[in-house]
Amino acid sequence: MARIEDYAIVGDLQTAALISNEGSVDWLCLPRFDSPACFAALLDGPEAGRWLLAPAGGGTCTRRRYVEDTLVLETEWENTQGTVRVIDFMPPRGQAPDIVRIVEGVSGSVQMHGELTLRFDYGRVRPWVHQDGDQLLAVAGPDAVRLRTPAPTSGHEWSTVADFTVSAGDRVPFVLTWSASYERHPRPVDAEQALRDTFTYWKEWCGRGHDLSGRYRDAVRRSLLTLKALTYQPTGGIVAAATTSLPEQVGGPRNWDYRYCWLRDSTYTLQALIAGGYLDEAKAWREWLLRAVAGDPADLQIMYGVDGTRRLPESELDWLRGYQNSSPVRVGNAAADQLQLDVWGETLDGLALARESGLAATEDAWDLQVALMEHLETIWDQTDNGLWEVRGPRRHFTHSKVMAWVATDRMAKAVRRHPTLHGPADRWEALRDTIHADVLAHGFDQDRNTFVQSYGATALDASVLIIPRVGFLPGDDPRMLGTIDAIQRELTQGGLVLRYQNAESDDGLPGGEGLFLACSFWMVDALHLAGRQTDAIGLFERLLDLRNDVGLLSEEWDPAGKRQLGNTPQAFSHFALVTSGLQLHAGRGHGSHEPIRHPGVPTR
Ligand SMILES: OC[C@H]1O[C@H](O[C@H]2O[C@H](CO)[C@@H](O)[C@H](O)[C@H]2O)[C@H](O)[C@@H](O)[C@@H]1O
């Protein structure tokens, strides 16, 4: 079965498909990211739905790439019969979601095999399939999917197979379109026109960003494209990843649904997109935020659905075995009901960055920020679940308190700097000082010269690596230097960083997990801000080597199995890559709320 890094993503800014290097679409939720999957082989096997298009002999492709700076994927096989290429993409959403696959003969004559196994509701529902004019129609309950292709198809054991030959110069299109079963048929797209439109869309999107250049240009650009692919265009929301339940340990139970908008993850994504020159996305996200959190600030959630939905009840899909038997498969996420104090800091930090980057402050946006700040003033000293969303006992997490400090800092500074923004700056500055002193008194272990995970604890936590970047302490402060040393000594494996030691920190969950990639990028930032440029570059380049062949990263890395783990592609990993890459390029650090004026790519 495919490894997580065997997958590439194509998407239409409302949902995304994962396609393996064997030519199988193994994951696709329609019509949006968090809809039930119609291809769920990723979390079970082919019987849970997939769409294979590959040479009849099967096997892993010989080459794979995205066409220039786009989300148009080319998968190529070379065998004794010749060379064949499958071009996969999802056109920017028109009337309905489509996934288009064009089989192109490159040389010789290659026998191809297609197998379309549609299963609605995450593999549970087998649709009725019949020919409807020039289309194949699959219907069950609310879902209808149509396939249009000139290739011959036939039914075989609840799948549709296509066996055909492509010769050099042939192009055989397949267009799969979803609609609600009770609605009129959507107008079919023309595959070749859709290819041109999709290519143009992504090239234009890249052209709108800052002109990146230099050594890390391609990596940063691919991560920005991936982050854009995780945005839900109709609302401006940003999902944390395209998948649910890819495990943090193969065979383990730490499997979560990431197809939602975390305030933390989306704010960090926003910082990366702003750094890449994408202010429109920042504006759309701010509007999403205003709608999502409208109402009593006490009701703020740490995450929402792509449209702002608040109830995201967690349940288990017991008919799916899980990725390589990693069960349970979960949909929904119980973390939605947790208290995570850091999200106030991240949100206010992101909004400060948007403002300082030229996104004019609106009255509504400022009123929201004041309301958030005033609520945080009443709860900052409570225990919480922290950014890692622990399901064990609540604690005074050091990172949460640092981020509460960030909230006060950004709000006080906004009032001092902008005469049109009103608020009790004196009071917020006083609270800022109080929290700063509180963190240093309780979150720092004097004897070991390191920040710790929570007040009074001995356990370490990589989240404190963000301390210099948010401006809580300078990067070369002896307390930060000590923390870097302690984390390198006690929380790293082969130089890559764990979030925390599962055995030392009660997160309420059984099993272990891999090395958390974003934390390793935060180590890059901390080293860089500490003046350890060579170490920072060395670690950054090691991390780049963990990307798959098309530049994608999931959440974690398994050093023993040398493979990616967790949901994919994950925004957390990709925004961290962008931030580190741009800082290394600039040759200096920049605060999380400071715009990078001239991003580009570092040269050594
Ligand atoms: O570690 C247990 C928790 O794991 C998930 O949270 C992680 O993913 C989030 C989305 O990227 C991220 O914001 C968070 O910092 C990560 O710890 C899961 O969502 C939680 O339900 C689970 O308790």
Check which CATH number belongs to the domain holding 397 and give it.
Answer: 1.50.10.10
Residue nearest to atom 23 of ligand 1 (CA): 389
Mutational pocket test of ligand 1: of 239, 248, 256, 333, the residue with most ligand atoms within 8 Å of the beta carbon: 256
Examine the fold and report which residue of 128, 160, 182 is the final residue of a domain before the chain moves on: 182
Examine the fold and report which residue of 132, 167, 182 is the final residue of a domain before the chain moves on: 182
Q: Does 161 lie in the same domain as 41?
A: yes
Q: Does 443 lie in the same domain as 398?
A: yes
Task: Please report whether residue 600 resides in a domain.
Answer: no
Q: Does 158 lie in the same domain as 217?
A: no
Interatomic CA distance for residues 395 and 384, integer angstroms: 6
Index of the ligand 1 atom closest to the CA of residue 335 = 21
What's the CA-to-centroid distance between 512 and ligand 1, angstroms? 14
What's the CA-to-centroid distance between 389 and ligand 1, angstroms? 5
Q: Does 277 lie in the same domain as 162?
A: no
* pLDDT (tens digit per residue) in 93-152: 989 999 999 999 999 999 999 999 999 999 999 999 999 999 999 999 999 999 999 999
Interatomic CA distance for residues 55 and 61, integer angstroms: 9
Task: Please report whether residue 496 resides in a domain.
Answer: yes
The answer to whether the bond into 569 is cis (omega within 30° of 0) is yes
- Residue 67: alpha-carbon gap to chain centroid: 21
Q: Does 437 lie in the same domain as 299?
A: yes
**Tokens 């019987």 correspond to what residue?**
47
What's the CA-to-centroid distance between 299 and ligand 1, angstroms? 20
Task: Please report whether residue 404 resides in a domain.
Answer: yes
Q: Does 226 lie in the same domain as 149?
A: no
Residue nearest to atom 16 of ligand 1 (CA): 388
Task: Please report whether residue 500 resides in a domain.
Answer: yes
Examine the fold and report which residue of 159, 182, 205 is the final residue of a domain before the chain moves on: 182
Structural domain range at position 502: 213-586
Identify the DSSP state of 212.
-
Mutational pocket test of ligand 1: of 342, 389, 499, 565, the residue with most ligand atoms within 8 Å of the beta carbon: 389
What's the CA-to-centroid distance between 333 and ligand 1, angstroms? 9
Q: Does 218 lie in the same domain as 172?
A: no
Report whether 331 contacts 315 (CB < 8 A): yes
Residue nearest to atom 18 of ligand 1 (CA): 256
The answer to whether the bond into 188 is cis (omega within 30° of 0) is no
What's the CA-to-centroid distance between 29 and ligand 1, angstroms? 21
Q: Does 224 lie in the same domain as 175?
A: no
What's the CA-to-centroid distance between 264 and ligand 1, angstroms? 10
Alpha-carbon distances, residue 416 vs 266, 411, 557 (angstroms)? 27, 9, 43
Index of the ligand 1 atom closest to the CA of residue 387 = 15
Interatomic CA distance for residues 53 and 382, integer angstroms: 54
Interatomic CA distance for residues 11 and 581, integer angstroms: 25
Q: Does 234 lie in the same domain as 88?
A: no
CATH code of the domain in which 82 resides: 2.70.98.40
Q: Which two tokens stand for residue 61?
A: 């492709």
What's the CA-to-centroid distance between 256 and ligand 1, angstroms? 7
pTM for the structure as a whole: 0.96
Task: Please report whether residue 506 resides in a domain.
Answer: yes
What's the CA-to-centroid distance between 139 and ligand 1, angstroms? 35
What's the CA-to-centroid distance between 487 and ligand 1, angstroms? 21
DSSP 23-76: SEEEEEESSSTTSPEEE-GGGS-GGG-EEEEEETT----SEEEESSSSS-EEEE
Q: Does 241 lie in the same domain as 176?
A: no
What's the CA-to-centroid distance between 89 and ligand 1, angstroms? 29
Interatomic CA distance for residues 510 and 588, integer angstroms: 41
Task: Please report whether residue 309 resides in a domain.
Answer: yes
Average pLDDT, consecutive stretches of 10 residues, N- to C-terminus, the chain (604 residues) = 96 98 98 98 98 96 98 98 98 95 98 98 97 95 98 95 98 98 92 98 96 89 98 96 98 97 95 94 93 91 97 98 98 98 97 92 92 98 98 96 98 97 98 98 98 97 98 98 98 96 88 95 98 97 98 97 98 97 86 72 35
Q: Measuring CA to CA, which residue among 432, 409, 411 is closest to residue 421?
A: 411
Report whether 259 contacts 243 (CB < 8 A): yes
Mutational pocket test of ligand 1: of 302, 315, 333, 388, the residue with most ligand atoms within 8 Å of the beta carbon: 388
**Tokens 């959630």 correspond to what residue?**
301
pLDDT score at 597? 61
Interatomic CA distance for residues 388 and 396, integer angstroms: 13
Index of the ligand 1 atom closest to the CA of residue 509 = 2
Task: Please report whether residue 130 resides in a domain.
Answer: yes
Index of the ligand 1 atom closest to the CA of residue 555 = 11
Task: Please report whether residue 187 resides in a domain.
Answer: no
Index of the ligand 1 atom closest to the CA of residue 389 = 23
* pLDDT (tens digit per residue) in 554-580: 999 999 999 999 999 999 999 999 999
Index of the ligand 1 atom closest to the CA of residue 258 = 10
Q: Count of domains in the chain?
A: 2
Identify the DSSP state of 5.
G
What's the CA-to-centroid distance between 552 and ligand 1, angstroms? 19
Q: Does 279 lie in the same domain as 151?
A: no
For residue 480, the one-letter residue type is M
Q: Which residues line ligand 1 (CB under 6 A)?
A: 240, 256, 258, 262, 264-265, 333, 335, 387-389, 391, 572
Q: Does 406 lie in the same domain as 318?
A: yes
Question: Nearest-5° angle of CA 279, CA 280, CA 285?
Answer: 95
